[in-house]
Structure 1
Amino acid sequence: MTRWSRTLYLALFFLQAFLIMRVFLYLSAAVTALPPVLAVSSTVHLNYTSYRGTALKNGVTQWLGVRYAAPPLGDLRFREPQPPLAEDGVVDADAYKPICLGTAAGPPTNESAEDCLYMNIFAPSSAKKGSKLPVYFFIQGGGFNTNSNANYNGSGLVMASDMNIVVVNFNYRVGPYGFLAGEEVLADGGINNGLKDQRLALQWVQQYISLFGGDPGHVTMGGDSAGAQSVNLQVTAYGGRDDGLFHATAAESQSFSGLRTVKENQFAYDNLVIRTGCTRAVDTLSCLRNLTATELQEQNFNTPFPGAQDPPLYMYGPTLDYNFITDYTYRAYAQGKFVKVPAIGGDDTNEGTIFVPMTTANLSDTDTFLQSQWPSFTLSQLRTWNSLYPIAGTPSFPDSGRAWREASKGYGETRYICPGIFISGAQANCSVPNWNYRWNVIDPPAAKEGYGVSHTIEVNAIWGPENTNGGAPDSYMRGGVNYPIVSVVQGYWTSFIRSYNPNTHRVKGSPEWQRWTKGEGYWNRLEFRTNATGMEKVPRDQRERCAYLRSIGVELKQ
């Protein structure tokens, strides 16, 4: 090659390299200017239809209003849930669907309907099929009479996990739609249909959540109040049979309501038949099925339990059917008849204040309220209960009866706190890793009014105060005195969802949450308190009260 040829060759080589570099820089700039490409399409194809979700600017994609069961209408009213029906085309999953009709909640509206079996899924937009992200499956509360934590936005939890989890929440049938019981329903319907809705939703997760980036082999089942009781009832379902539907639990304010048999619940069925005029029909259940939802809602309200004086807070609820529910919850846990998976459980300091009437002034008011919730209370048991929660010397608050706060304390321990403490002990006795807590985050206005740290208030911190439909106290919001607790509890919660241990990914500087174990670890719980979170022992006086309540629990049908 001549010198001239070599010069020409080198010139062409450098020109080509220059042009390639310019093209590369141009393409890089163009790609940078484009919106981020999702690792998984927001359109997900299921066996029965396809759903198109929405990619949010926060890096989370949401699918709202995904049907997980067939509409429970017509002949499917009062029956076990059925798989969803096939639907052609692509459905826009961009809006929440109506919640389930509640007791004493009025006729159907745009926000509530009988066709209500929908779920919402929140996943990192970077997730893809095969990502196998841990799943948080949340069961809302409402006393089995309402959907009271509906449509919480799971984005906050996804982001708090550093984009490492998938969140699922959903509606399930409540009131008579989910929990009507009687011989007629047993013969031609389903018992505990609301719990079976939850079970079907868990099965849906096993079948489909991988398409959203979730891992069906890593599901934490959580819930609050009746949702936490649902967790307990799913864990003890079918005598504690493990169907592989969940692998850890996180229960807030575990509730032990009374469990009545089909025969003991017959009064509610008969009363509903009488009020709706269905006594004229030979087939009273078919008559109830033929009523419109509006007609049924007109007669959907609570009446007193047999032997009680006033209607209870919640009349409809889980039935001891000796199939799905095989025993009282106290006894099922005592006998070890539960699925043994890692667990979080805990309560709020003042569980009862939002339930007991503020007008409660004396022992007569207190005992009438208690008997209305648990009509099995004997006079001797009420006498002992009253001695455990004396009115004298307790604080009083403006515009409230003298016995309100102590009755609230007793109700909170009877229904929530002591059952939760008992479950932690039962789990420890079976060597199940579990962590107990007391939520003691003081909201100044609530404290002044006497409500204290009330029932399930921690959901606002766990989900993020901006994600609970306006239910969070101002002190939990950004800039509020309790805002610092949000990141702390989200750190523990998402760590548990990710690793079955609340400490693995906890916020730096937050204390180790010690397990409730046999021996020295018994009675250990974490007290959540803004800027002062730390371990504590359950006080001896509370242990003693809980011991008595445990001793009468089965007699109260808990």
Structure 2
Amino acid sequence: MFFRPLIALALSAVSVTVVTAAPVASTVQLDGVTVTGKSVSSVQQFLGIPFAQPPVGDLRFRLPQPVPAYNQSFSATAFGPACPQQKFELPVLQGLPQEIADDLVNGVFSALFPSSEDCLTVNVVKPASATPSSKLPVLVWIFGGGFEFGSTSMYDGTGIVQRSIDMGSPVIFVSMNYRSARGFGFLASKEVREAGIGNLGLQDQRQALRWVQKYITAFGGDPTKVTIWGESAGAISVSLHMIANGGNSEGLFRAGVMESGAPIPVGDIENGQIYYDSIVADTGCSGLADTLQCLRTVPFDTLKAAIDNTPSIFAYQSLRLAWLPRADGVFLTDHPQRLVQQGQIARVPFITGNCDDEGTLFSFSTLNVTTESEVRDYVKNTFLPGATDAQVDQLSTLYPADITQGSPFDTGILNAVTPQFKRIAAVQGDGVFQAPRRWLLKNTSGKQDIWVFLSKRFKAIPLVGSLHASDLINSFFLGQELRDYIIRFAVKLDPSGAGLLDFKWPKYTTGNPNQLVFLDGLIPQVVEKDTYRQSQMDFLTQLTLQVPV
């Protein structure tokens, strides 16, 4: 059925590289040693380069350690393994039984994207003509996947670099693996806080950005012209790098692009204690004086199985993730949205945007929620535990059961899998994606250059509409509008073209909240005001500030 291919499209986003000529060797010098990549046509790839020491053995659950100077020549012609991936547990609408379906999806995913704890590598894709004196702008990609799965091998930057060459505005593309799989990269508890090892996945990304500063010149890049770019969890990561260290970018980047992600409504790292304790129990580490050290020593398969036993992004609690970035007192000193409110954010230009129906993909796990009382119970006890009856009343009023007001938006009576599906999808999409973006805009407007977009493409897809991650199609795979805007932004910090026929993307301010809307049909893009569902999103933001995950 169509549901599983959609998940593969939206969350794996497997790229396809069109090879037009046999690859030939290409080289670059790092620390005086030769690194051999491969060249196809006018683009060169250097893949699987270690940027940190393997986080294995006693380095498991520790801050990433820089690699020492490279002292031996090596080949960089293949992507490195992904970091350990979270087991998929997908909702089944029809067809194969749940267990068989899960095993099939996990088996295929593992075969396509092999993983290992030794996974901290970067990839650099560059124009073949770039030399150490070229000083080209650099796009650093951070993949999404709910902080549970993902791999750089899903996103081949060759098309991005080739397109930039064709536009006459060449850039260098960099991507990095980072510890995800929830527990591996985002372990959360009082023990984690005390050890100062919170948000290891973000720390991995930061270390990769430091690697870029040290080595990108050798590939022809300019370390002062780095734009960090991500989607979903990758976009959230971009936003959190902007607010880390009190908003001090450390010179690691000069701009950001966020597709479907913004500073999220999360609280203290100790809010994840219940999941940490579950892993400790399942690995046999309970009762020991140092459970964290025990977790460093248990066999990988035992630890991975324990992490897989915690709720995934497709579990009943859905986008109320078990493992995700939280305030740890080091990387994030407070609730991310409070840091934005306090002005602790890098004053760099950025692009941010959403897909119209962000919540649909994540609402199939709640198909058993079909009545008003069940919706209220789900919100109060599962999705937003801690919300009061009065707050649930207000939320129910702002997001009524009327299916014509739910998501996929603007589809009338269609796509109502259950009487409550579109309603729940609207709440999830606004609460986790749209409202946090609005909060970011409210607190940064007038202080830095901002461009906003909304993708309403693929609205005709049954049940999911303009689903989460569908904008990746226009930034990596098909079409070129969003991709071209991002390339131009990386080059000149303005996404609009300079030609008379180029569509002009106006800046956003709260006084003039312009957003570029991507559409299906003969008119591919228009400018509209970003004011839809204003009262709903304002309420959701105030609610999640009070009851963060």
Helix, strand or coil at the partner of 2:452 = strand
Alignment match of 1:413 (pick from 430, 444, 454) = 430
Deviation at 1:398, TM superposition (A): 6.2
Match of 1:248 among 249, 255, 275: 255
Residue 148 of structure 1, CA deviation: 6.1
Contact 1:141/1:149, CA 8 A, preserved across alignment: no
Query: 1:556: how far off?
Result: 2.7
Structure 1 residues 509 and 415 mapped into 2: Cα distance closer, same or farther (>3 Å)?
same
Map 1:241-280 to 2 at 5 A: 241-279=248-286
Tell me the distance in 1 between the aligned counterparts of 2:155 and 2:543: 37
TM-score by length of 2: 0.83
Distance 2:154 2:319 in 1: 27
Q: CA RMSD in A?
A: 2.8
What's 1:225 paired with? 232
For the residues of structure 2 that align with 1:197 and 1:80, how far apart are their CA atoms? 8
1:253-402 aligned within 5 A: 253-279=260-286, 281-301=288-308, 303=310, 310=317, 314-357=321-364, 359=367, 360-370=369-379, 371-394=381-404, 395-397=412-414, 400-402=417-419
Q: How does 1:42-441 map to 2 (within 5 A)?
A: 42-47=26-31, 50-57=34-41, 59-85=42-68, 88-104=71-87, 111-147=114-150, 150-162=153-165, 164-174=170-180, 175-188=182-195, 190-279=197-286, 281-301=288-308, 303=310, 310=317, 314-357=321-364, 359=367, 360-370=369-379, 371-394=381-404, 395-397=412-414, 400-430=417-447, 432-441=448-457
Q: Which letter maps to 1:270?
A: D
In 1, are the aligned partners of 2:449 and 2:507 still within 8 Å (CA)? yes
How has the CA–CA distance of structure 1 residues 367 and 171 changed in structure 2, closer, same or farther, with 3 Å as cutoff? farther
Q: Give the TM-score taking structure 1 as reference length.
A: 0.82
CA distance in 2, matches of 1:374, 1:150: 35
**Distance change (3 Å), C-alpha of 1:213 and 1:310:** closer
Choose 1 or 2 for highest CA Rg. Answer: 1
**Any gaps of 5 or more consecutive residues in structure 1?**
1-34, 466-485
Conservation of the 8 A alpha-carbon contact between 2:139 and 2:174: yes
Question: CA offset at residue 47 of structure 1?
Answer: 3.0
Q: Secondary structure at the match of 1:317?
A: coil
> Do the aligned partners of 1:424 and 1:436 also contact (CA within 8 Å) in 2?
no
Which secondary structure does the structure 1 equivalent of 2:458 belong to?
Answer: coil
The one-letter amino acid paired with 1:171 is N
Contact 1:342 1:433 in 2 (8 A): yes
In the alignment, the residues of structure 2 paired with residue 407 and residue 148 of structure 1 have an alpha-carbon distance, to the nearest angstrom, of 30
Work out the percentage of aligned pairs sharing the same amino acid.
32
Partners of 2:82 and 2:152 within 8 A in 1: no
8 A contact 1:96–1:151 mirrored in 2: no
Match of 1:476 in 2: none
Give the aligned residue type for 1:140: F
Q: Do the aligned partners of residues 399 and 309 (structure 1) sit closer, same or farther apart at CA in structure 2, a change above 3 Å counting? A: closer
- SS of match in other structure, 1:413: helix
Amino acid at match of 1:556: V
| Amino acid corresponding to residue 543 of structure 1 in structure 2 | Q
Structure 2 gap ranges (5+): 1-20, 89-105, 405-411
Number of equivalences: 491
CA distance in 1, matches of 2:58, 2:508: 47
Question: How big is each residue's C-alpha offset from its partner over 1:272-295, in whole Å with a ceiling of 9 and x where there is no partner?
Answer: 111111125433222211112111
Q: Per the alignment, do residues 491 and 363 of structure 1 end up closer, same or farther by CA in structure 2, a change over 3 Å counting?
A: same
- Report if aligned partners of 1:43, 1:53 keep a CA contact under 8 Å in 2: yes
Q: Displacement of 1:94 after TM fit?
A: 1.1
Closer, same or farther: CA 312–151 of 1 in aligned 2, 3 Å: closer
**SS of structure 2 residue aligned to 1:158:** helix
Letter of the aligned partner of 1:382 in structure 2?
V
Instruction: Say if 1:492 and 1:505, in contact at 8 Å, map to a contact too.
Output: no
